[in-house]
Amino acid sequence: MNSFIIALVVSLLSISAFATTTGQEKREIKSLSQHEITGYLNGKGLGYAKAAELNQFPGPRHVLDLAKELGLSENQVQQSQAIFDAMKLHAIAYGEQFVEKEHKLNELFANSSIDSVKLDVLLGDLGILEAKIRFVHLNAHLEQKAWLSSEQIQLYDQLRGYNSTATHNHMHKH
């Protein structure tokens, strides 16, 4: 019986893995889903700021969405909007470049016109762009935290459904 269950689980996992890769060969950019492309082109976070978000460094988009519940002052709303706008502007610019480089990588492989030198350069460019995108999103969380009180951060975590039991040092400048 146990071996039957193990075989069933392995089969289901294999089918699931196959289903998630089926059709990817039809993508314009094989390495990116349409969701990812849209996210990069629209400056979305795509999970790049989880290290901040889940460690009591709120993000400006969600802070703005929760402005009323957090009791933000007009100044806090204005600062949060400025942080968000700057983040989005830079994330879109880097995201467009990132998608363009991924498209180029795909094109070089599709045309069999890639070599080790081109690959090394292109991957270096992609790594730098991805680091810049991540920096933009994480830095916005750093900037945002400075405009919130420790009480607002705790309330933010509650409203977002985070159950942090860790103690954190809340030093803010307002």
Domain for residue 17, yes or no?
Answer: no
What is the value of pTM for the model shown? 0.80
CB count, 10 Å around CB of 22?
9
Torsion of CA 65, 69, 75, 80, to 10 degrees: -30
Continuous H helices in 55-149: 60-65, 67-70, 74-110, 116-145
Domain for residue 112, yes or no?
Answer: yes
Determine contact, residues 146/172, Cβ cutoff 8 Å: yes
In one-letter notation, the amino acid at residue 164 is S
Domain for residue 12, yes or no?
Answer: no
CA 41 – CA 60 distance, rounded (Å): 19
Domain region containing 43? 29-159
At 58-116, the pLDDT tens digits run 999 999 999 999 999 999 999 999 999 999 999 999 999 999 999 999 999 999 999 99
Domain count, the chain: 1
The CA-to-CA distance between both ends of the chain, in Å, stands at 63
Tell me which residue of 107, 96, 98, 103 sits closest to 126, measured CA to CA.
98
Domain for residue 125, yes or no?
Answer: yes
**Res. 173 pLDDT band, cuts 50 70 90:** very low
Domain for residue 119, yes or no?
Answer: yes
Domain for residue 20, yes or no?
Answer: no
Identify the residue with better confidence: 23 or 89.
89
Domain for residue 149, yes or no?
Answer: yes
At 121-135, the pLDDT tens digits run 999 999 999 999 999
Determine contact, residues 66/156, Cβ cutoff 8 Å: yes
Per-residue pLDDT, 82: 98
CA 142 – CA 138 distance, rounded (Å): 6
Which run of H or of E encompasses 44? Answer: none
Domain for residue 152, yes or no?
Answer: yes
- The arithmetic mean of pLDDT across residues 30-44, rounded, is 95
